Structure 1
Amino acid sequence: MSKEAAEDRVKTIERMFIITDALQELNGARISELGDYTDLANSTVYRHLNTLNDMGYVMKEGDIYHIGLGFLDIGEYARNRKKAYQLAKPKVQELAEATDERCQFVVEEHGRGVYVHVETGSHAVETNSRIGKRLYLHSTSVGKSILAHLPNQRISEIVDKWGLPKRTENTITSREGLKKELHQIREDGVAYNREGNIKGLRSVGTPVLSPSGQILGALSISGPTHRMKGDKYEETLPDLLLGAANELELNLEYS
């Protein structure tokens, strides 16, 4: 295969993922809408969608295309490969039942966080923390819990690649501010998110470490500011999280 042909194949794969990402972001779209959104020619969009539709990764309803369930099997496989997910799932369920709030387990991949399991208690508020969604690490308690236990070189690489985008007025947007907070998280064992990602939402998180001390992911509990305050926010929820993380780490070591 010539170098030009190989580059064409790589470009084809790149365009395919640009189109599928756009389909997800637009929650379904027509060919012309995808062309406008991605700056790709309509004919290019059409060819890719036809192939993806034939393979079960895209479905067509009238003239609107949507992400198909073909991706679900791949996503489930990727998630189930992570031993920490299998053991974290019941802990997240227990936390949601104990707190009545939204609880999640997040891992880091390519410098972003990924929600791999989410449970909602009876009083949980709706957020965008769906399974598979990616998040910035610097603006969430789970993300900061993960960052605090990565090597300094890796933290710098992540910030260089993704920056420190401002999500709310309370988001950490400076390297020095992030460095200071990560130091505090290492000291305390827990991370707080005081409306740094979503206005009106607070959370507390803690890391999950392997037997060798490597970061595997993080657990968190999130809820509205009027409930996440005082002793509950500063003591009760952190104690629950630390206990759950400790049990999870023991299960990981001896399972």
Structure 2
Amino acid sequence: MEDWIPGGTDPDIEGSTIQSIDTSFAIITALRERDGAGVTELAEVTDLSKSSVHKHLRSLMKHGFVVKDGDEYRLGLRYLDLGAHVRAQIPGSTEIKHKLRELASETGESAQFAVEERGQTVVLHRDVSHGGVYSRGRVGRRFYIHQTAAGKAILSQFSDLWVREILERHGLPKATPHTVSDEAALFEELTEIRECGVAFNSEESTEGLRSVAVPVTGPDGDVLGAFAVAGPTHRITGERFETEIPDLIRSVVNELELNLAYS
């Protein structure tokens, strides 16, 4: 976990900011949410003048972060370069990709590797088998950390005090009627995860989807993230849900941790 203090204010971002940068990010966010938009629409959703939006778009285009297609603007591929660079900074990123492919192939489902950032879960890598289901967990997607198996696996590696700080900041919002939303119930589940080393999710992030996750720790003992396998409830059930997939993920994680320790 990075040097963010959960629950409290962040001294690195509190206080005054550069308004022009805030404005650019508001425009970038609007473009991402709409898969592209024109100046008029962007001005309306950001409460900015058309002239201001146009100036920011020109600056973003100059540096390759926005491209123009007819009268509409959309995000440029410059972000792909930045994203690849950020992902490569995670220890063992290449080995993680190989292990994900192995998991997806052996289970016939979708496999993910997620990390924690600022108290939320971020999907860093994903591999889907031929028969796997493409869920909402695309690369880069953020989730409330208690809503996913990977998130709960990561939480289990934190102290109760740290978990409470995260909950104070983000709360326990529901994604589905099955999402754990009671603090006492979550802590009871985290205790079970610490004992067995596996986190389970039954339709807590997406209805009709179950997942299993195991945390990954680095050579220094810090949690790096978690591997998860997800699939439809009619396929991931019974012994396959409770034993087979957990044992397979444990085996993959053990191999990865050994490789990271002695590489």
- TM-score tier, shorter chain, comes to over 0.9
Corresponding position of 1:114: 122
Corresponding position of 2:32: 24
The reply on whether 1:103 has 2:114 as its aligned counterpart is no
| Matched letter for residue 31 of structure 1 | V
What per-residue deviation string (whole Å, max 9, x for no partner) do you get for residues 75-120 of structure 1? Answer: 1111101113222111101001101100011111111111111000
5+ long unaligned stretches in structure 2? 1-14
The reply on whether 1:160 has 2:168 as its aligned counterpart is yes
5+ long unaligned stretches in structure 1? 1-5
The reply on whether 1:66 has 2:74 as its aligned counterpart is yes
State the Cα distance separating 1:175 from its structure 2 match: 1.5
Corresponding position of 2:257: 249
Task: Choose 158-167 or 219-228, whichever is displaced more.
Answer: 158-167
Corresponding position of 2:6: none
Aligned with residue 89 of structure 2, among 74, 81, 93: 81
Corresponding position of 2:211: 203
Corresponding position of 2:235: 227
What per-residue deviation string (whole Å, max 9, x for no partner) do you get for residues 31-51 of structure 1? Answer: 222222233333322221111
What per-residue deviation string (whole Å, max 9, x for no partner) do you get for residues 181-216 of structure 1? Answer: 111111111001100000111100010011232110
Structure 1 consecutive aligned stretches of length 4 or more whose deviation exceeds 6 Å: none
Corresponding position of 2:146: 138
Q: 2 CA distance for matches of 1:120 and 1:209? A: 24
| Matched letter for residue 103 of structure 1 | A
Residues 84, 216 of structure 1: 8 Å contact kept: no
Task: Choose 124-133 or 197-206, whichever is displaced more.
Answer: 124-133
Task: Choose 230-239 or 42-51, whichever is displaced more.
Answer: 42-51
Residues 92, 103 of structure 1: 8 Å contact kept: yes
> What is the TM-score with the length of structure 2 in the denominator?
0.91
> What is the TM-score with the length of structure 1 in the denominator?
0.93
TM alignment of 1:172-183, pairs within 5 A: 172-183=180-191
- Superposed CA RMSD in Å reads 1.5
User: Where is the helix percentage greater, Structure 1 or Structure 2?
Assistant: 1
Task: Choose 159-168 or 243-252, whichever is displaced more.
Answer: 159-168
Greater RCO, 1 or 2 (C-alpha within 8 Å, sep 6+): 2
Residues 85, 116 of structure 1: 8 Å contact kept: no
Task: Choose 111-120 or 151-160, whichever is displaced more.
Answer: 151-160
SS at match of 1:138: helix
| Matched letter for residue 70 of structure 2 | G
State the Cα distance separating 1:149 from its structure 2 match: 0.6
Residues 139, 171 of structure 1: 8 Å contact kept: yes
Aligned with residue 212 of structure 1, among 197, 220, 234: 220
Q: 2 CA distance for matches of 1:90 and 1:100? A: 15
Corresponding position of 1:149: 157
SS at match of 2:147: coil
Residues 205, 220 of structure 1: 8 Å contact kept: yes
Aligned with residue 54 of structure 1, among 47, 52, 62: 62
Percent identity, please.
43
Residues 142, 219 of structure 1: 8 Å contact kept: yes
State the Cα distance separating 1:224 from its structure 2 match: 0.4
| Matched letter for residue 249 of structure 1 | E
Give the total of aligned pairs: 249
SS at match of 2:145: coil
Corresponding position of 1:187: 195
